[in-house]
A = this chain, B = another copy of it.
Amino acid sequence: MSTAEETAGGETSAWGEVTPDAARRLLIAAVEAFAERGYHATTTRDIAGRAGMSPAALYIHYKTKEELLHRISRIGHEKALEILRTAARREGTAAERLADAVSSFVRWHAGGRTTARVVQYELDSLGPDAREEILALRRQCDAEVRGIIEDGIASGEFDVLDVKGTTLAVMSLCIDVARWFNVDGPWAPDEVGALDADLVLRMVGVK
């Protein structure tokens, strides 16, 4: 049960808010199809077929194919933001919070690679308005990470030359996991999370 299980791993919880059931099945089918082939190469017939429905059924629940991508992007970014926000606001030193943020964010990208891939790489397929809405969420994600780094500098824990650039690099490390991570590869999401957390701490001058 590769696909269903992978999607179930940490993602169905996020799709739980999507109702009714048929709409959720279509959305999950769309995530899988977009992740595999890309938004433009995916046909509405393919999405409906994966959900076990006729092509027309899609349009009962969604106005257009783009609305599916929009919904997926928004829910995915909200989940990403929640992950980072949780890590940023917990108790602990800046180093602990940064390591927590990176490892959980990386775990999300690795374990939910299907969703993460769509969320991170299909943004440009959205129309201008939808893209701007999603970009605002993305800036909030950046801000959470930057906040932790600034805290660490203020407390003297971190030694950082360029806050904005280092923040971008941290995000790069996390997001790029969605590009290369392979479920059948040698790593478990936990391992990549721990490894990248260690590397990020080195980047900010801890140890």
Residues of chain A whose beta carbon lies under 8 Å from any beta carbon of chain B: 37-38, 40-41, 120-121, 124-125, 161-162, 164-166, 168-169, 171-173, 175-177, 179-180, 186-187, 191-192, 195-196, 198-199, 202-203, 205
The answer for the CA separation of A82 and B14 in the assembled complex, in Å, is 44
Option from B176, B192, B202 in Cβ contact (under 8 Å) with A176: B176
The answer for the CA separation of A195 and B170 in the assembled complex, in Å, is 12
Option from B161, B166, B195 in Cβ contact (under 8 Å) with A169: B195
Residue of B nearest to A207 (CB): B205
Inter-chain contact A175/B179, CB cutoff 8 Å: yes
Copies held by the complex: 2
Inter-chain contact A172/B180, CB cutoff 8 Å: yes
Inter-chain contact B38/A161, CB cutoff 8 Å: no
Q: Which residues of B contact A165 (CB under 8 A)?
A: 187, 191-192, 195
- Distance in angstroms from A36 CB to nearest chain B CB is 8
Given contacts A38-B125, A172-B179, A176-B179, 15 further A-B contacts (CB under 8 A): A120-B179, A121-B179, A162-B195, A164-B186, A166-B195, A166-B199, A168-B180, A169-B173, A169-B195, A169-B196, A172-B173, A172-B180, A173-B173, A202-B203, A202-B205
